[in-house]
Amino acid sequence: MDLDIRSHIINNFKGDDMNTLRAAIEESIQNKDEITLPGMGVFFELVWLDASEEVKTQMLESLKKRITGEAK
């Protein structure tokens, strides 16, 4: 069986506005829902692909802080 998770997730949100996308992200984080992790990964990939080097560096710094426990 050939599953294209990226395409499925993108198509699932294709017609949604920014408020709906934000709500989906925040709900996923708030609920700590493991099922939504692949979708969050696809969202991150899409953001990463369009990010400037400066934004990528900011994201990496933020991730590093969260992973090491330096962020509050």
Q: What are phi and psi of 61, to 5 degrees?
A: -65, -40
45-69 residue pLDDT tens: 999 999 999 999 999 999 999 999 9
Tell me the residue type at 66. Answer: R
- Beta carbons within 8 Å of 24's beta carbon, 6+ residues apart: 13, 16, 36, 39
- Beta carbons within 8 Å of 40's beta carbon, 6+ residues apart: 25, 28
| CB contact at 8 A, 39 and 9 | yes
For residue 2, the model assigns a pLDDT of 57
| Dihedral over alpha carbons 7, 8, 14, 19 (to 10 degrees) | -120
For residue 33, the model assigns a pLDDT of 84
Q: Is the pTM for the entire model greater than 0.85? A: no
For residue 10, the model assigns a pLDDT of 94
